[in-house]
Structure 1
Amino acid sequence: MEQNTFFSAQEKVRLAQLYRELLKLSGNILHPDDCKKLKTYLLEAVRRNLIQRNVFGMNPILNDMETALIVASEIGLTRGAILGIMVHTCVRCGYCTPEDVEREFGVDVAGIIKGLNRILELYEKNPSVESENFRSLLLSFAEDMRVVLIMIANRVNIMRKIKDTENEEARRKVSEEAAYLYAPLAHKLGLYRLKSELEDLSLKYLEHDAYYLIKEKLNATKKSRDEYIEKFIRPIDEKLKKAGLKFHMKGRTKSIHSIWQKMKKQHCGVEGIYDLFAIRIILDSALEKEKMECWQVYSIITDMYQPNPKRLRDWLSIPKSNGYESLHITVLGPENKWVEVQIRTERMDEIAERGLAAHWRYKGIKSGESGVDEWLNNIRSALENNDDLQLMDQFKMDLYEDEVFVFTPKGDLFKFPKGATVLDFAYTIHTNVGDHCIGAKINEKNAPLRQKLNSGDQVEILTANNQSPKQDWLNFVVTGKARAKIRQALKEMQAKQGAFAKELLERKFKNRKIEYDEPTMMHVIKKLGFKVVTDFYKSLADETTDVNEVLDLYTEQQKIEAGLAEHTPAPSAENYNIPSEAELKAKTNDDVLVIDQNLKGLDFSLAKCCQPIYGDDVFGFVTVNGGIKIHRQDCPNAQELRKRFGYRIVKARWAGKRGSQYPITLKVIGNDDLGIVNNITSIISKEEKISLRSISIDSHDGLFSGTLTVMLDDTSKLQLLEKKLKTIKGVKQVSRN
């Protein structure tokens, strides 16, 4: 290495020092020929000038060795991870292949390098690392959890060395990634010291003035703070020992990053943060005595120092969702200073430090954020408690087997369920993009609408103005948003087609000078076999139904209704069966309430909500006081009554006309033309056995809405009245309430 100018004089000294430290830490776990092979790989790659310095001008070999030291000393990873870090640069620069590494160093080392390469390729897509989706994608790409631990260690090493770099833009980007991505991951893994260091260093580079202000304040007060802690805990120590409790105490100063977050939240200076440090009391208690002894300590402390009731945090009675248990109190100590005291047991402290891994309950892996936490904590537990790192094989990533993470060309990241297609992606971007999507470019290669997405794909949607949603699109999209938007678009297209078909039909009516009547048209539509009007108009638009045939049927139906038809078909005698005596008896007596019969001891009345009249299909509802209300079958309340009180529903039918008249409310809507009210009242007054009880008219913006209450005998009279009211010029709609 001395013959090559790749290493400066200082770097050569540092290289020898790092080599000795690394050998001391890992010499007993490396294979006898590992060092020799590694040295050959690195020397040859340097000799060929294949290895390049990074954006900060750092020597990658030294950087890898420093990362390996962090991994070995602070995380506890061994041979596979250390060799993976050291050989990885040789693979990236093209000196050797993953297959070469597998042959020389084994499958384990090759797997680590594969994971590191995948993540570095991910970074080349310029993603937004602030997103939670990127954190999830990073985990899914790593496969082997050691890769994520190596990435955290590498970021810590880089952050330690970029204080004096001239590339401020690169330092800002690396610091932001440390704060948004690697510090939270280190926290989830229980690497709290590395997490705090990443947070503090990112603050140092991103908020330089704030960092040094807080640091200077802490340094200036360290001696007095230590003296105060000793003064505060001395009497507590004596009291707890007298009570016979087994415990140990420690004081801890908050990290600079944590103090800065509090300053921003509370809008104050360092002096305004009164809990710069906390005292932790950790009890050695039996499981059944934990809560009792924690509250005993609470009682002893609050007898000595005045507590702040607003600052009591009881996570003993109800632990946090992540399993954290502790009792936090803030008391007024000597010199009238507020001090936070955390009371917990050894078991609780273990859970606080290592998460739920301390009490692992699940053998499988759950999806979602809670699954991530449990899985990561379990890995941390295995790292601490198992020397045999072959156990890491069980941590192959299958947590995100039901999810894929996909990039836009700009680096934005989206999460989809497994099986999502190009079309799902298009509708996630925008509804208009989805409606006009014709395909995509996935990783610069053309792909159809149906192409399924894979994690890490970079997708660019292709659109065309003449494209529109198709019915078969619903067969392959998997996201709810895409389904809903496609259905909505198809419905709107169908409505437009229906409106066009209706306009065409009305134009044909005018050409033949035929008067259009809605009830007559409904008869024709039913004769043609359509149950839904929209289906009829759709068939006209598709030209599967002939417009001229519709017109012929319409004119024939008009003649039948007017009694002018040459031959009105009579019902076939073959289809008529004479009912038996038993059936006739059942019709009148089989649990059917017969309305208007002279029934003794039975109280029934017509419901006011739907105002049934003779001829309506009806049913009875037994009320709480024993009476029976008669409702129409299409009453607005009918569905709810049947669903909730089906046992109180009785069949009902009319016995026959008895000369009774019933009140009916009609709603009339139309243009506010002069004389329209007179025309309405005139028609009603001319009708026999129909009387107007009340009329209420409301006019607004050229439209009127009227409510009429009339008295009449049966539904046939009602239908005739509605038909006549609709013939009035300006009347748009007549409906029964």
Structure 2
Amino acid sequence: MSNLLNQTGHRLDADQEKPRFLISDLCAYLESYLDSDQVREVYRAYLFGAEAHSGQHRKTGEPYIYHPVAVARILAEMRMDHNCLMAAILHDVIEDTPTAKEQLAGTFGVEIAELVDGVSKLSKIDFQSQAEAQAASLRKMLLAMTKDIRVIMIKLADRLHNMRTLGVMRPEKARRIARETLDIYAPIANRLGINSVRLELEDLGFAAYWPMRYRALRQAVSESRGQHKELVANVEAALLNRLEQEGMDGHVYGRQKHLYSIYRKMQEKNITFSDVVDVFAFRIIVDRLDTCYRVLGAIHNLYKPMPGRFKDYIAIPKANGYQSLHTVLFGPQGIPIEIQIRTEEMDRLSESGIAAHWMYKSGDSGGIAMSTRASDWLQNLLEMQQGVGDSVEFLEHVKVDLFPDEVYVFTPRGRILVLPKGATVVDFAYTVHTDVGNTCVAARVDRRLVPLRTRLRNGQTVEIINAENATPSPAWLNYVVTGKARANIRAFLKNLQGQVAVDLGRRLLERELKRFQISLDALGEEKIQQVLEEYRLESQDDLLAEIALGNRMPLLIARRLTGEDLATPVETAGTPGAESAGGLSIKGTEGMVVSFANCCRPIPGDPVMGVFNPGKGIVIHRHGCRNLGEFNKQGHNWIEAQWESDIEAEFATEIRVEAGNRRGVLGTVAATISEQGSNIENVTSQERDGLFSTLVFVITVKDRVHLAKIMRSLRVIPSVLKISRQSI
């Protein structure tokens, strides 16, 4: 039977025309770059894998071992080392056969066993949902990748072959796998610079997830290519002719932009296919770096460049190490064409990415640079995972860092940092160092002071101003975009909330124990342990945090600890004001375990009480607030509170200003509030009729005295008719 060869070099059966991945073909290919001893080791791994998978078949009907051999062939085309190829052939034996990791280590060595284990899913752990299981397995794989990058190389090759054979899957499962490929694996391939793998994963994922859109777009591109076939040939000839006239050697390749990138551009810019201006692209490959810039000048003289569409990725490479000059020109008939200019080395690296570290080991500087950039990203992953809780949260942070739109900014010393599009000053600070981010208080962009939420643009120089005692703010989470920044801020706030909760819980419990004439320290360890076991808590700190968060009532815990019955002591007869000297003292710095009710917006000077809200801690209300309901009748659900005498924090409150409906009245009122040292958080306007309107301001004040000062200053404005504070 005759055999054919497809574009990927796989042998095709002439009758069935589908790839066959034979170990003999793989070994013959490996002999082109591996030693004979190494090829024999790969064959030994094949024999072990074939025996382990004996009797297993894929949904295509083929013996299962075809899949691992196909994965190894993909990696061989990247010229990966023999240990990586052996691990690829064995990558499913731990997960899908009785083979243990220890057995692999004894037969093939610890290195290969670790690689195989890194790719294996966490299948022996029970998870609450499919999403959690998926996230945990991906987290395990990504962390294994930080120790050995070959883990992700094997996983990408595994996913690529699975995508090539996705047609046999049920439609819903095929769509789930395609979505995961587009969300995770294609972006990882892009982040590691492996362009050839990324493009195929994206197009296969696109075809499986949106099959009708894929077919329609493919048809549109095919028709467009047919209409412009002569134009493409003419542009190629014109570019080559100009290179010859300038005495420069180079190769010109006309190519069609791949379908998924066209689709994404249509989605992001909300445009139709006819509005996509650069469907056709040309790549010019030259011998030396300086020739790239000479070619750029020559083609700009041939066709007019489109303003604002030139990018120099040679001087400032992408985060994954990609280098090239990009420009868009007005071609024949005014049709825009994209031109990429690069050296042969840059072209190889753009296709191979991190794989260049293995493909070109002869001191290739580009491959080393790619490896360094990948290592930096992996280090960020390590830092990120230390500050997050569950695997789903970690995966969300990773996704943020995987998408490629970038901004290039400079440190004061001229170092270039690459950030995602939309990154802020805080993102920059965390990219420099975690400690720089945690303690940043202000920044200068191009020597001008700017707010921390300022979004950065290409070419700006950013200087961070730090304060030793500064800490991250919860508000930062509203505008940071990098996974590292988000993970570190959340980690800090979780630790802060935990410590604040423990301290507050201790104060609340000590207050109740005082009524039983005993302190927490005086209680025996045995009594505390009994209560911990009863509530299934691990430590005393956990119990105190539960009290502060409102999940456990301090009075009930005090009774359990003291062994008292449920009869309420005289001092705790739920009357507001009882035992007020032992009430909760509010400083305004308790963090998230003490919050202030939006219904009445209490401020220092108001008589207040606290209500336990499970999961949220204590919510402070003004006395008489209509939303307190029956809490006054439930002594164990509320706590008397009072303000500290030296509070420096600011608190939000609401005022209503009724004014004549005249031009400029809102600006006058706002300016007056600002002059009194208050910040306006929100304002709404309600027009009662054509003559009068009601302005509702949410402002920050220090206390009742500060509020009274603001209200007095507003009363003297001629247009203001009435001022009142939010009612309770």
TM-score, structure 1 normalization: 0.48
For the pair shown, the structure with the greater C-alpha radius of gyration is 1
TM-score, structure 2 normalization: 0.49
